[in-house]
Structure 1
Amino acid sequence: MYLASILGFLYTNILPFIILLGILIFVHELGHFAVARMCGVRVEVFSLGFGKKIFSFRRGDTTYCISLIPLGGYVKMFGEQGSQEIKTEEDRKVAYSYKNPWQRIAIVAAGPLMNFFFAAFVFALIAQMGEQTKAPVIEDVAAGSIAATAGFQAGDRILKVGSNSIASYEDFQKQLNENQNATVEVVVKNPEGVERAVNVNVASANNPNIFSMSSRIGQIEGLLPYARSAAVAVMTGTPAYELGFRSGDQITAVNGTTVPRWVNLVASFDSAATDLNVTLNRPSAEIDGKVQNTEMSIVVPLKTLKKAKSVQGFGFDNTELYLDMVVKDSPADKAGLQKFDKVISINQVPITKWDDISNTIRSFNGTDAMTFVIQRDGAEMIKKITPQITELNTAFGGIDKRFTVGITPYLVFTEPEMTVVHSASIFHSVAKGFQRTVDVSVMTVMSFVRLFQGEVSVKNVGGMVTIGKVAKDSFEIGAQAFLMTMGILSVSLFILNLLPIPVLDGGHLVFYTIELIKGSPLSLKKIEMAQQVGLVLLLALMILAQFNDIVKFLFKS
């Protein structure tokens, strides 16, 4: 039993990390190795890992080995350390240091470039296998918005924009980006299979993705990227409460028909012609961080629905006004706020949506405590809360410093519909693979730029523990997620190794470029000084990454 647990831990936690890192290191070092051999350099050692060799064999002039520490690899070339070991003319022919600058540049650049081409191969493989991506389905439409006025409805499937067929939501967004500040015809099909054309103006909006080169994106105001699920908040003293419904219930079906969205729930209640048998999941316990649900059914008499006239009259309230989480030791926690408290008003201003709460707290003047009126079990309470400045990470990794009190709304969204998109041909897959590699490369470069500009927190820099966590999680999700992670990390290695830091490939490329320009190599003393500086920078980056890992994973609350 104990052995089985150890093997299970190794399989789920260690194996994905070793596979992921091992393949990426092998590809990188293979680039150096192959081009070195092509340039006539004698390669003495090809190693995956550092430290003590646990497996090795020799073929020709090269010893191939796997070493104990799987956190890197190396290719040792004859003459790489200088001319001390070079004694004969034959030695000069196979010595790395005696190759011309162009050959040395090719050997050094081959490692990062192999990571680039390997990423393109992985992304092309995903495209050829069939990529699971978000389906071109409209999740929800804001009432009274431009999208609603134009005629879009929740559940509409986008078929075409102009003359362009749409296979995924990514395709749809690309068409919006290409048609900013223009009117387009969008062909959609509703859940009943009826097609119709919708003419709408595409606005130009700020791009929330700070890692993109494009500052603007196309947007149809009112198309929501998420749909509110059929989770309910229940007001005390209402028919819903008397029948046994409680805040936090997740309604899954009505009379056997699945209700994935809030709009489906409302429609089933509004169109009821008989008593409704409502199936729901109720949170009952939390085990190992996962909420355990109890399934139950409640019968809603038709006469009760007719008397209530609407879901609101029945007792189902707007969930975003209710609290889902109160952060420990936050101002809200110290004031005594609890899960499922309803916020009625702040500073005597009535609250109708979560944005009212967020914006009111954000505009805090920094002096007087704010007056919250909340409702708990039907009774109103007054709480005095003083917001505090909090540094938050945005969805795209940016930094947002603002006043908060430590609460989140009870908002549960449906899982978006997914689809599998297959490439039309292998050539299309290859083109898509290279395009995605370029896109990820640009985002990786922009992440460094934003980091130095202070727009991205250094807390986002992760080390080996982060890589291990990502490898484990993606491995558990499935092959596509694991391959996607591998491709993204391969691009990261491509960019990271090209940074002009001595001891990295990019630093060597700088040395050899200078040699080409001035006609002679830099002095050994200058190279050693630069490498010492580079080593310090690299060690500082590694320490930062490991520190973030420790804080994130070992001391998380």
Structure 2
Amino acid sequence: MVLEKVLIFFIFLGPLVFFHELGHFFFARLFGVRVEVFSIGFGPKIFSFKKGDTQYAISLIPLGGYVKMFGDDPLSEKELTAEEEKVAYTKKGKWARFWIVFGGPLANFILAFFIYFALVSVGEKVPQTKFGVIPQESILYKAGIRTGDVLKQINQQEIVSFDDLNMIDTDVKAIEVQRQDKTIRVPIEMKGMEFITKFSEVSGPLRAPLLVNSEGKMFFVKELNSKSSSLEEILKSDSSQLELIDISKEEVSLQFNPESLNLDSKSSQVISRQEQSWEEAFKEAKLYPKDLLIKNIQASSPAAEANFQAGSIIVGIEGRRIFSFNELKSTIQNLGEEKPITLTLLNSKGTETTSKITPRYREHNGQKFLSVGVESGISFYSIMIETQSKGVLSSISKAYYRTLDGTVKTFLGFKKLITGEVALKNVGGPIAIGQVASESFNISLSMFFRLMALISINLGLINLFPIPVLDGGHIVFILLEAINRGPLSRKKLMYAQQVGMSLLFLLIFVALYNDISRLF
């Protein structure tokens, strides 16, 4: 498992580093600079070969790369011959040096564009544009939109993926949604940005239609002779009968796609209700949503001290029966302080027990919250759809807007970090990137390459930061040189490089510290 994640990380990061360094290499050769080393990775070389003047290498530490150009040290006092000056980086004009430096970040933006272009032109496997839980007081609910509806059109413009929402730049007059097997047109008067904001507020994942009993058996629940739907939609169903299908725990992961199940080989039964709600009917049948199943107990937590066991089901809090883990979380957060509460648990023998437990404050990503230290066994309802391939012109347009949108959003994210709107604890390093890359790979290749494009944009923007030793810092030096009409003094360059290295190491330390903190 760990080896698989490491391999995915290398597959993910390799192209980003390669194309960044290729950008520097291309412009260096274009302007006649001799490139001595082209390396993917830092440190000792584990594989290399030489062609012409350049040594091509793969080095031990795969967290970056470098292009070593002849005469690239502005602090060097070595005298160059006339022939050497022709191929030395520092002896090239300001315009040539600008493009050599800017070539790396530029290559990252170009890579992102071509990834998006390939995805759109070939077709993608992406999550449904599905509405999450919509409260009755919501403006969307009052307009006629319901939990679980799939957004199909806005103003007669097809919506296939969440990225398509970024193309909406006009007022929203009407939308089209799919509700089970029906297509419904919903008139709605809203500004484009307002609709996108409202949609994002309720587009959180829905629970998979999975139920468990005290014995640990798991059931996939669906309407008879109908497509699958989320648990939230099942609970609001008007049907008087539902089908319960036995499935094994091995068939279920965090992202649950019912279409991956081979239902022909499964045993099933029918569950009926009379006048009660489906929630009441499930409780009566001693069936509980999978998110109430305790997956893990955190060490030294209140739950561990109370001797809670993984595999138990939380069925009540403060004498009130609950039917979702969110009910548990919201009740605990509403306490507002660390004070005792009573939880009711159902163990594997079918016996209910009550325990007094005092939630404690925890901190995660800069946010403090009350917790008892149990991890939910939740699985999310995840239906993937395959988009149709687009024509060349349409693909170019979509790829351009995706690249532009990713660049703007990434820039705004960095701005929030700098201004303190977002805590530094949200900064992730190689471990965080590796985890997200692995998760996206397991969802679909489309999501994996989408993430690669976004990280490529991040890498391009980060390298443009005006920090000495980064590409952006070198560009600032070139601009200052143009303003001063001459190179900066040796003393100023040494001081700037020292400051730049300090800032860079600080950023690396923060990212790695956050990565390690999340692990423990």
Task: Tell me the CA shift for residue 523 of structure 1.
Answer: 0.6
Counterpart in the other structure of 1:251? 220
Distance between the aligned counterparts of 2:371 and 2:385, measured in 1? 35
Q: Which amino acid counterpart does residue 390 of structure 1 have in structure 2?
A: R
Aligned match for 2:55, one of 58, 64, 72? 64
Counterpart in the other structure of 1:237? none
1:530-545 equivalent positions in 2, closer than 5 A: 530-545=496-511
Counterpart in the other structure of 1:329? 300
Q: TM-score, normalised by structure 1?
A: 0.74
Q: Which amino acid counterpart does residue 86 of structure 2 have in structure 1?
A: K
Q: Does 2:313 match 1:343? A: no
Q: Percentage identity across aligned positions?
A: 32
Q: Does 2:343 match 1:364? A: no
1:286-435 equivalent positions in 2, closer than 5 A: 297=267, 299=269, 305=273, 312-313=280-281, 315-316=284-285, 319=289, 322=292, 324-325=294-295, 326-337=297-308, 339-345=312-318, 357-366=328-337, 369-372=339-342, 374=344, 376=346, 383-393=355-365, 399-407=366-374, 411-423=378-390, 425-435=391-401
Deviations 1:102-155 (A, max 9, x none): 322222111211111122112211111112223345566556765455444556
The answer on whether the counterparts of 1:247 and 1:340 sit within 8 Å (CA) in structure 2 is: no
Deviations 1:285-315 (A, max 9, x none): 999xx9xx9x97465587xx55989662461
The secondary structure found in structure 1 opposite 2:480 is helix
Distance between the aligned counterparts of 1:160 and 1:509, measured in 2? 45
Aligned match for 1:29, one of 21, 24, 39? 21
Counterpart in the other structure of 1:5? none
**Would the alpha carbon gap of residues 517 and 256 (structure 1) be closer, same or farther in structure 2, given more than 3 Å must change?**
same
**Would the alpha carbon gap of residues 116 and 159 (structure 1) be closer, same or farther in structure 2, given more than 3 Å must change?**
closer
Q: Does 2:507 match 1:519? A: no
Q: TM-score, normalised by structure 2?
A: 0.79
Q: Does 2:14 match 1:47? A: no
Counterpart in the other structure of 1:188? 177
Q: Does 2:499 match 1:528? A: no
1:195-214 equivalent positions in 2, closer than 5 A: 195-200=183-188, 202=190
The answer on whether the counterparts of 2:220 and 2:245 sit within 8 Å (CA) in structure 1 is: yes
Which one has a bigger Cα radius of gyration?
1
The answer on whether the counterparts of 2:132 and 2:148 sit within 8 Å (CA) in structure 1 is: yes
Distance between the aligned counterparts of 1:496 and 1:221, measured in 2? 27
Distance between the aligned counterparts of 1:29 and 1:134, measured in 2? 33
Task: Tell me the CA shift for residue 279 of structure 1.
Answer: 2.1
Task: Tell me the CA shift for residue 416 of structure 1.
Answer: 3.3
Q: Which amino acid counterpart does residue 514 of structure 1 have in structure 2?
A: L
Q: Which amino acid counterpart does residue 219 of structure 1 have in structure 2?
A: K
Query: Which segments of 5 or more consecutive residues in structure 1 lack a partner in the other structure?
Result: 1-7, 205-213, 235-244, 394-398
1:209-224 equivalent positions in 2, closer than 5 A: 217-219=196-198
Task: Tell me the CA shift for residue 544 of structure 1.
Answer: 3.5
Distance between the aligned counterparts of 1:111 and 1:309, measured in 2? 60
Aligned match for 1:261, one of 230, 234, 254? 230
Task: Tell me the CA shift for residue 340 of structure 1.
Answer: 0.8
Q: Which amino acid counterpart does residue 251 of structure 1 have in structure 2?
A: F
Distance between the aligned counterparts of 1:366 and 1:462, measured in 2? 30
The secondary structure found in structure 1 opposite 2:299 is coil
**Would the alpha carbon gap of residues 451 and 300 (structure 1) be closer, same or farther in structure 2, given more than 3 Å must change?**
same
Aligned match for 2:208, one of 216, 229, 252? 229
Counterpart in the other structure of 1:396? none
Q: Does 2:112 match 1:119? A: yes
Distance between the aligned counterparts of 2:237 and 2:330, measured in 1? 34
The secondary structure found in structure 2 opposite 1:219 is helix
The secondary structure found in structure 2 opposite 1:534 is helix
The answer on whether the counterparts of 1:252 and 1:281 sit within 8 Å (CA) in structure 2 is: no
Distance between the aligned counterparts of 1:113 and 1:132, measured in 2? 28
Distance between the aligned counterparts of 1:460 and 1:89, measured in 2? 51
Task: Tell me the CA shift for residue 494 of structure 1.
Answer: 0.8
How many residues in Structure 1 have an aligned counterpart in Structure 2? Answer: 502
Counterpart in the other structure of 1:4? none
Q: Which amino acid counterpart does residue 211 of structure 2 have in structure 1?
A: V
Distance between the aligned counterparts of 2:271 and 2:110, measured in 1? 64
Q: Does 2:91 match 1:98? A: yes
**Would the alpha carbon gap of residues 104 and 382 (structure 1) be closer, same or farther in structure 2, given more than 3 Å must change?**
same
* Greater mean alpha carbon deviation, residues 477-486 or residues 257-266: 257-266
Distance between the aligned counterparts of 1:371 and 1:147, measured in 2? 35
Q: Which amino acid counterpart does residue 403 of structure 1 have in structure 2?
A: L
Q: Which amino acid counterpart does residue 345 of structure 1 have in structure 2?
A: E
Query: Which segments of 5 or more consecutive residues in structure 2 lack a partner in the other structure?
Result: none
Distance between the aligned counterparts of 2:133 and 2:304, measured in 1? 33
Distance between the aligned counterparts of 2:87 and 2:300, measured in 1? 66
Task: Tell me the CA shift for residue 524 of structure 1.
Answer: 0.8
Counterpart in the other structure of 1:443? 409
Q: Does 2:77 match 1:89? A: no
Q: Which amino acid counterpart does residue 175 of structure 2 have in structure 1?
A: V
Distance between the aligned counterparts of 1:169 and 1:334, measured in 2? 43
Counterpart in the other structure of 2:70? 78
CA RMSD of aligned residues (A): 4.3
The answer on whether the counterparts of 2:125 and 2:384 sit within 8 Å (CA) in structure 1 is: no
Q: Which amino acid counterpart does residue 300 of structure 2 have in structure 1?
A: D
The answer on whether the counterparts of 2:219 and 2:244 sit within 8 Å (CA) in structure 1 is: no
* Greater mean alpha carbon deviation, residues 382-391 or residues 476-485: 476-485
Task: Tell me the CA shift for residue 85 of structure 1.
Answer: 4.4
* Greater mean alpha carbon deviation, residues 504-513 or residues 257-266: 257-266
The answer on whether the counterparts of 1:320 and 1:354 sit within 8 Å (CA) in structure 2 is: no
